[in-house]
Amino acid sequence: MNPVVVKRLVAQALEEDIGSGDITGMAFGGVPAIGRFVAEGNIIVAGLAVAREVFRQVDPEVEVELETADGAAATHGDVLLACSGSGAALLAAERVALNFVQRMSGIATLTRHYVEAVAGTGARVADTRKTTPGLRMLEKHAVRMGGGHNHRMGLADGVLIKENHIALAGSLAKAVAHARRHAGHGYRIEVETTSLDEVRQALAHGADIIMLDNFEPLAMREAVALIGGRAMVEASGGITLNTIRAVAETGVNVISIGRLTHSAPAAEISMDIFPA
Amino acid sequence: MNPVVVKRLVAQALEEDIGSGDITGMAFGGVPAIGRFVAEGNIIVAGLAVAREVFRQVDPEVEVELETADGAAATHGDVLLACSGSGAALLAAERVALNFVQRMSGIATLTRHYVEAVAGTGARVADTRKTTPGLRMLEKHAVRMGGGHNHRMGLADGVLIKENHIALAGSLAKAVAHARRHAGHGYRIEVETTSLDEVRQALAHGADIIMLDNFEPLAMREAVALIGGRAMVEASGGITLNTIRAVAETGVNVISIGRLTHSAPAAEISMDIFPA
Amino acid sequence: MNPVVVKRLVAQALEEDIGSGDITGMAFGGVPAIGRFVAEGNIIVAGLAVAREVFRQVDPEVEVELETADGAAATHGDVLLACSGSGAALLAAERVALNFVQRMSGIATLTRHYVEAVAGTGARVADTRKTTPGLRMLEKHAVRMGGGHNHRMGLADGVLIKENHIALAGSLAKAVAHARRHAGHGYRIEVETTSLDEVRQALAHGADIIMLDNFEPLAMREAVALIGGRAMVEASGGITLNTIRAVAETGVNVISIGRLTHSAPAAEISMDIFPA
Amino acid sequence: MNPVVVKRLVAQALEEDIGSGDITGMAFGGVPAIGRFVAEGNIIVAGLAVAREVFRQVDPEVEVELETADGAAATHGDVLLACSGSGAALLAAERVALNFVQRMSGIATLTRHYVEAVAGTGARVADTRKTTPGLRMLEKHAVRMGGGHNHRMGLADGVLIKENHIALAGSLAKAVAHARRHAGHGYRIEVETTSLDEVRQALAHGADIIMLDNFEPLAMREAVALIGGRAMVEASGGITLNTIRAVAETGVNVISIGRLTHSAPAAEISMDIFPA
Amino acid sequence: MNPVVVKRLVAQALEEDIGSGDITGMAFGGVPAIGRFVAEGNIIVAGLAVAREVFRQVDPEVEVELETADGAAATHGDVLLACSGSGAALLAAERVALNFVQRMSGIATLTRHYVEAVAGTGARVADTRKTTPGLRMLEKHAVRMGGGHNHRMGLADGVLIKENHIALAGSLAKAVAHARRHAGHGYRIEVETTSLDEVRQALAHGADIIMLDNFEPLAMREAVALIGGRAMVEASGGITLNTIRAVAETGVNVISIGRLTHSAPAAEISMDIFPA
Amino acid sequence: MNPVVVKRLVAQALEEDIGSGDITGMAFGGVPAIGRFVAEGNIIVAGLAVAREVFRQVDPEVEVELETADGAAATHGDVLLACSGSGAALLAAERVALNFVQRMSGIATLTRHYVEAVAGTGARVADTRKTTPGLRMLEKHAVRMGGGHNHRMGLADGVLIKENHIALAGSLAKAVAHARRHAGHGYRIEVETTSLDEVRQALAHGADIIMLDNFEPLAMREAVALIGGRAMVEASGGITLNTIRAVAETGVNVISIGRLTHSAPAAEISMDIFPA
């Protein structure tokens, strides 16, 4: 992750939560205290470095020790992070630090379930641009920590020609030709398709990646055969933990899943604080 | 919502997603297009004004019409927002606008389920500080649109004395006395309790609001009776859609629920774009 | 105070004052120097931590020692802060550091005069939202250091129904009912009144705090009696050092004073710098 | 004033005051309203364009009419600005708009008193760098509106060699020579002096402007004679409305006064809001 | 280009140049004026939309007409942009608007020369990350307007394994394998090589793009033959207008050139302003 | 330079270049590495402190040693800066650090050539406002390091009456009189002239500095004689390394040159990185 972005996001979160000062906690400034992040369930950890930055911005005197690493599994009772410093600082930092780590670990944990579901098939689990506005870098890091892969970061660094683009361009052929002419040579051209016929067109016009959007398993298998390795194949659209194995077994290379980031529940983690 | 904050959040989200420019969509700039947000399920809408701001920042020439209002219910196929403008602008704005509205509507929808579950009991459903870092204002607005109420916005505007505070202060009595002396006169003093004994102490020291943290229903009912209207009562901790009715029927005034904001799945909304 | 906000305010002030560089002072970079903040009169000190942040941002090598604490009294000649480092750094930081501390100490000093004037009456002296745009957190901190109390931080964290609101709502009853229904349960509802009749109405509709705006002492005393402890009473409007004692003796709980922040003269403090 | 800076300062002030939203005023959004800024005493007006920007940022639909201009005099009852729009917008903008205009008009009003006190003497009244951190541009504009002149904006755009600089440079001669060699050719070199002897030295080394710091009137007159037009003369240090005329009559060219900006009381201005 | 980024860059440039206000130009506020950007030589135009944003931020009342389009050629005397509004606004905006357009047009013009030099060869001219800190988006847009292509925008959106990476990874094989495993599937893997031997290795390990760094023309031709279309070929390192044709004729696909952005001289464009 | 501005500019450049993370370099985080900036030609160094800040922001653990100082000359092979730390950090910081130092050293190098060309004549070489938007402070620092002098920083800190101003004011006399009345007393009034007749007018109306814009050498010499020391003389307009000596020998005091900043090619500097 970019440390400059982490600093900015943490500063904004602390402005938001602490505002003009913690009116409950300011009473306990002088009391030295110890704090611990503890897992309350089975989770994949992500975001510990962000939590450390939260404590440092609240008070550079707080000592933080990471007890595990991003990407590691933890179970009920495991200590993830330990810190010590003034009670006022720990109390002021607690909620923001937890909010970051719970969200990121929630995404890593959900991603891991999807990744495990396709184990051995050779298919990658990938995220999408359906991330929380402003937090994409953190959420894409969490996906990697869960064992997933990242799709493009935004509209500037990847070409994905969708139904909407084709409608406006007039034809798939024109849309691909235009992208090929203008996109940087480091990016592959991806085309979204909704039928075998469109798959054939995408192939004919030289798409580097073909996305199969909401294909039935049978059609998906047929599409993979049709493409025959001449383009990478990405499955997308409404894939769940129940259906992902079947999708992966059709032979697609990548399965992208919006809910990894837009609907992952927060991981259960709490913070204990007590006098030092 | 504060319009200045909406502007800032939208600008940040667009810097993040569009980056240095939409390399796929820039081809279709000249084609006039029409777009619509369509509900894909039963939802409570929230965030339409944020979506409008997204379109405006991408291109002030885009016309946006809100077809419903925040707080309204929508079902599969309902049009929430219609817009028209250059195809390039609609394509560039689409994902960010959806990301805001799907998240906010997801929170409003989940909140509404909790609110309906306590209908008639007189209990309020309230949010917490367990919000997405940076987006608290939007998420608390969504809770209100779902029929819920807002707890304090942050550490600066409310006194909530928790276990951790009492541990550092030495005693509940000291913690309350300190808060009473220093907090602004417009804020009520709230004390978190974990047993009937603590409820008695909180009451004795004049807490204005007593939070019952993870109480069993029976103990909760007993606590409500004990308090007898001398303080407001808030239930908190692990309350779900299955248990909230029982909690509300104990007579508590407020039920606060972290998952309204930290674990609400995105609402199902899609955007259609086609040539004008 | 929120350290993240202090950092931001100091950075902005240094961008403003130092601009692209101190063209007078850059000549003396190599000379080690010592500096001291000295009180030039009787003052209450506030803002020393802000001054320290100023020196640190100009040059992390500067050593800063606080010789007293925010909230302490100082008299002519007292040293408040001592620092040592490169001459160029001390010269570049001097004016900004002084501007913060002189303003904050000016507010703390004026507040203390008001607080002393009501000693023994049980009335609190409180500030208002009439603060310098952008510096509210610092100014409210200064009020606390002077012994005063803070009113709400802004429009989001307190309900104060004024004449203007009632005019727009149609009636005091409607305005209070609406606020009661929508405001968070942690906030008390305050109503501004301008006559005994309005006091009666506010009381009847359950205001938690009743503000007596520009009441004559006699009417104020009558209002306090009328309210009889059923609501907190706040006096406001044109109260000066000459009149505050009489106001406090009417039995009001809180006296709010705009000039604490909008018209406090700067405290007299100077900085000496000499070669180390 | 730089409109980009005005926009930034207004946005920051509105983030600070409105926070996540006006919980009192949001109830009255639908009611059209009219508002007016009214002078409550004899003032010189400054900051109306800033107030207009406040209303526009809260709601671009609000119509604002300036009824007078910055720099004009107003007396009790004069309307300075009229606006119309949604009641919620006027209520949300009121305090921030007033805070800017009251502070700026307070500075303009105090400046005008000093300027009138030296009428006919040929001396200019000038401000200093003793301004509110972050608001220097606004405060220097207010000084101009009061009829005063601006000293340099910051450390980057003017050379002022003070006692502290000379102490670190080793001698006045060295300090001036260095500045002459390095400063841009568009800036005059100013030297602060505290005795006639230092005046002689400053003159000998070619200072363009000589500041007489805390000189007695007699010594000041002597210094002016000594300088004899070979350098501009600026008086500074503890000059009040009572003493400024005598200072001006010594023949100095400029009189700089910190209290114009650091200790000006807010101008008395109120806002009326009523249903349209 | 991303309009949100354009807005931010323009605001920063105007804060920098106008500072607290244009002390020369503020005298002429009332005089209506007309302005024109005029080419002083043969140039390729880029940045007109940025200039328009400059005028709008200084004063939304200024009318701006673009007389040509980004990417067009212009010769001495051609009018590029016309505007009308208050004289003070045009004078305040002039320099910043010109600074943007001169730099961007300078880059577009230099790029066009390189592009024309390879006409007919099938080789693309591409930029690098050697851009002005903070202005990369504008400079990469200018390259496109000159007919060039963009390499990756930054470190997050492309894999380019250089000598330094291989040194740290231990071997080219390890470096490529790692990148293949971790990079998003939409990015091609590029490897920098400095000898035919390294070209063979890169090919063997499946590089998608092979960069030939500072190859002699003969070796370059040999490398192209060796690669035989199995990977894209990019030439890089010290290529000038004199040598680029020979490079292109070796059959490489892409030629990347740092000086397009790091050493392009400003295009000659001036602004005339006269009373309306 | 203002350290607060350096921090801000570095942070923005790193957000731009590293984006959400270095996907190539993140593989080598654990390998300790050493890096060096090496001159590839004869240059004047500028910007080393900015490079140090780049490394620190990427990773505070990186150790940076400046091997020379801003303003020093370096030749092919000279080491300018050495650093050690994690390989990932050095790789991530490399390009941004180089981009700053190459641009700043390019400006310093070009300036030095101009300064040496006028050696012994007494004329100063000065920059203009034709700088890269956002980087003026860095570029003006680089000019000083090359031995040049700075003209005003922006529109707020100097008065320069140009043709356009005179056109709008109606006459040179009016323009100067207005500036004299309103500008701060620390700024000299400069007037741009295009003929000997205008020089006479400028002199008659008391201009402190007279700019000779695009004068032929003969006319320039005549203007200098005419002015006879009664005003400072600045030559401007299209002066190159070939013509500057002749210009300087006319006796002008200052020669301002836009291309110092708007057209300086980047200095040739590279960075070596190898395992520690």
- Which pTM does this prediction carry? 0.96
3-class DSSP state of F136: helix
Report the b/e string of B14-47 with b at 16+ CB within 10 A. Answer: bbbbbbbbbbbbbbbeebebbbbbbbeeebbbbb
- The answer to whether the Cβ–Cβ distance between A265 and B266 falls below 8 Å is no
Q: Catalytic amino acids of F?
A: 95, 130, 162, 192, 213
Of F257, F270, F235, F6, nearest in space to F107 by CA: F257
Confidence of residue A28 (pLDDT cuts 50, 70, 90): low
* pLDDT tens for each residue of E228-262: 999 999 999 999 999 999 999 999 999 999 999 99
Q: Is E272 a catalytic residue?
A: no
Report the b/e string of D108-136 with b at 16+ CB within 10 A. Answer: bbbbbbbbebbeebebbbbbbbbbbbbbb
Q: Which residues pair with F213 in a beta bridge?
A: F236
d(CA C273, CA F153): 28
d(CA B133, CA B140): 12
- Decide if pLDDT at E161 tops 80: yes
Confidence of residue F180 (pLDDT cuts 50, 70, 90): confident
Q: Which residues pair with F211 in a beta bridge?
A: F192, F234
Per-residue pLDDT averaged across B75-104, rounded? 97
- From the candidates D162, D188, D200, D259, which is the catalytic residue? D162
Confidence of residue A164 (pLDDT cuts 50, 70, 90): confident
* pLDDT tens for each residue of D55-108: 999 999 999 999 999 999 999 999 999 999 999 999 999 999 999 999 999 999
Q: Is D124 a catalytic residue?
A: no
Q: Return all residues near F134 (Cβ < 8 A) that are at least 6 apart.
A: E9, E12, E13, E16, E134, E135, F9
**CA dihedral defined by B135, B136, B142, B146, rounded to 10 degrees?**
150
Confidence of residue A67 (pLDDT cuts 50, 70, 90): very high
**Percent of chain C topping pLDDT 70:** 99
Confidence of residue E157 (pLDDT cuts 50, 70, 90): confident
Q: How many CA atoms lie within 13 A of E225 on its CB side?
A: 7
Question: How far out from the chain centre does Cα C93 lie?
Answer: 24
Work out the minimum CA distance from E63 to partner chain A, whole angstroms.
Answer: 31
Of D241, D183, D242, D171, nearest in space to D209 by CA: D183
3-class DSSP state of C276: coil
DSSP D230: S
Per-residue pLDDT averaged across B27-40, rounded? 87
- From the candidates D7, D36, D40, D95, which is the catalytic residue? D95
Per-residue pLDDT averaged across A210-234, rounded? 97
Position A168 scores a pLDDT of: 82
- Assess contact for F70 and F49: CB atoms under 8 A: yes
Work out the minimum CA distance from B144 to partner chain C, whole angstroms.
Answer: 9
* pLDDT tens for each residue of E105-154: 999 999 999 999 999 999 999 999 999 999 999 999 999 999 999 999 89
d(CA C121, CA C112): 15
Ordered by start, the domain boundaries in chain A are: 3-114+264-275, 118-262
3-class DSSP state of E68: coil
Of A54, A137, A119, nearest in space to A93 by CA: A54
- The answer to whether the Cβ–Cβ distance between C1 and A11 falls below 8 Å is no
Taking residue F102's Cβ as centre, other Cβ atoms within 10 Å add up to 25
Position D180 scores a pLDDT of: 87
**Does the A118-262 domain belong in CATH 3.20.20.70?**
yes
- The answer to whether the Cβ–Cβ distance between C21 and F136 falls below 8 Å is no
- The answer to whether the Cβ–Cβ distance between F21 and A1 falls below 8 Å is yes
The CA-atom distances, in angstroms, between F36 and each of C79, C253, F89, F94 are 47, 68, 14, 10
* pLDDT tens for each residue of C106-120: 999 999 999 999 999
Interface of F with D (CB under 8 A): 2, 124, 126, 144, 149-153, 156-160, 182, 184-188, 190, 209, 232, 234, 253-254
* pLDDT tens for each residue of F111-120: 999 999 999 9
Of F255, B99, C250, D162, nearest in space to A133 by CA: B99
Contact residues on chain E for A153, CB-CB shorter than 8 A: 156-157
d(CA A203, CA A195): 12
- Decide if pLDDT at B101 tops 70: yes
What ipTM, to 2 d.p.? 0.95
Position A89 scores a pLDDT of: 94
Pull the structure tokens for residue D215. Answer: 């000189």
- Assess contact for E130 and E107: CB atoms under 8 A: no
d(CA E258, CA E240): 10
Of F86, F96, F87, F84, nearest in space to F19 by CA: F96
- The answer to whether the Cβ–Cβ distance between D232 and F151 falls below 8 Å is no
- Decide if pLDDT at F27 tops 70: no
Report the b/e string of A146-175 with b at 16+ CB within 10 A. Answer: bbbbbbbbbbbbbbbbbbbbbbbbeebebb
d(CA C153, CA A15): 14
* pLDDT tens for each residue of D30-45: 789 999 999 999 999 9
**CA dihedral defined by E245, E247, E251, E255, rounded to 10 degrees?**
-100
- The answer to whether the Cβ–Cβ distance between F2 and C11 falls below 8 Å is no
Q: Among all chains, which residue has been given the structure tokens 């397009």? A: E260
- Decide if pLDDT at B27 tops 70: no
With CA atoms as reference, the chain E residue closest to A147 would be E182
- Decide if pLDDT at F29 tops 70: no
* pLDDT tens for each residue of C178-221: 888 888 999 999 999 999 999 999 999 999 999 999 999 899 99
The DSSP element (H or E) to which A237 belongs, if any, is none
- The answer to whether the Cβ–Cβ distance between F24 and E161 falls below 8 Å is yes
* pLDDT tens for each residue of D154-212: 998 889 999 888 888 888 898 898 888 888 999 999 999 999 999 999 999 999 999 99
- Decide if pLDDT at F154 tops 80: yes
Position F167 scores a pLDDT of: 81
The DSSP element (H or E) to which F74 belongs, if any, is strand F73-74
Q: In what order do the strands lie in the sheet with B159-161?
A: B124-126, B254-256, B232-236, B209-213, B189-193, B159-161
Q: Is E140 a catalytic residue?
A: no
Work out the minimum CA distance from B197 to partner chain D, whole angstroms.
Answer: 36
D275, amino acid identity:
P
A33, amino acid identity:
A
Q: Return all residues near F18 (Cβ < 8 A) that are at least 6 apart.
A: A2, A4, E154, E155, E156, F58, F92, F96
Question: How far out from the chain centre does Cα D149 lie?
Answer: 9
d(CA A85, CA D29): 46
Work out the minimum CA distance from F139 to partner chain C, whole angstroms.
Answer: 10
More confident: C169 or E36: E36
* pLDDT tens for each residue of C68-108: 999 999 999 999 999 999 999 999 999 999 999 999 999 99
- Average confidence score pLDDT of chain C: 95
Position D118 scores a pLDDT of: 98
Position E143 scores a pLDDT of: 98
Position F170 scores a pLDDT of: 84
Per-residue pLDDT averaged across C208-236, rounded? 97
- The answer to whether the Cβ–Cβ distance between D155 and C12 falls below 8 Å is no
- Decide if pLDDT at C252 tops 80: yes
Q: Which residues pair with E236 in a beta bridge?
A: E213, E256
Interface of C with F (CB under 8 A): 11, 14-15, 18-21, 57-59
More confident: C154 or D163: C154
DSSP E152: -
- Decide if pLDDT at F52 tops 90: yes
- Assess contact for A161 and B26: CB atoms under 8 A: no
Q: In what order do the strands lie in the sheet with F124-126?
A: F124-126, F254-256, F232-236, F209-213, F189-193, F159-161
Confidence of residue C170 (pLDDT cuts 50, 70, 90): confident
Q: How many Cβ pairs closer than 8 A exist between chain A and F?
A: 31
Position E163 scores a pLDDT of: 84
Position C28 scores a pLDDT of: 62
Lowest-confidence segment of E217-221, F43-47, F172-176, F268-272 by average pLDDT? F172-176
Pull the structure tokens for residue F113. Answer: 């050539």
Q: Is B95 a catalytic residue?
A: yes
CATH class entry, domain C3-114+264-275: alpha beta
Q: Which residues pair with C135 in a beta bridge?
A: none
Quick one: E197 exposed, middle or buried, by C-beta within 10 A (0-12, 13-18, 19+)?
A: exposed
Three-state SS annotation for F170-191: CCHHHHHHHHHHHCCCCECEEE
Helix residue ranges per DSSP H, A189-258: 196-204, 217-227, 244-248
Q: Which residues pair with B135 in a beta bridge?
A: none
- Binding partners of B (≥3 Cβ pairs within 8 A): A, C, D, E
Per-residue pLDDT averaged across A84-94, rounded? 94
Position F134 scores a pLDDT of: 97
**CA dihedral defined by A260, A265, A268, A270, rounded to 10 degrees?**
110
Contact residues on chain A for E210, CB-CB shorter than 8 A: none
* Length of chain D measured in residues: 276
Q: Is E162 a catalytic residue?
A: yes
More confident: F85 or F179: F85
* pLDDT tens for each residue of B54-64: 999 999 999 99
Taking residue A265's Cβ as centre, other Cβ atoms within 10 Å add up to 16
With CA atoms as reference, the chain D residue closest to B6 would be D20
3-class DSSP state of E257: coil
Position B55 scores a pLDDT of: 98
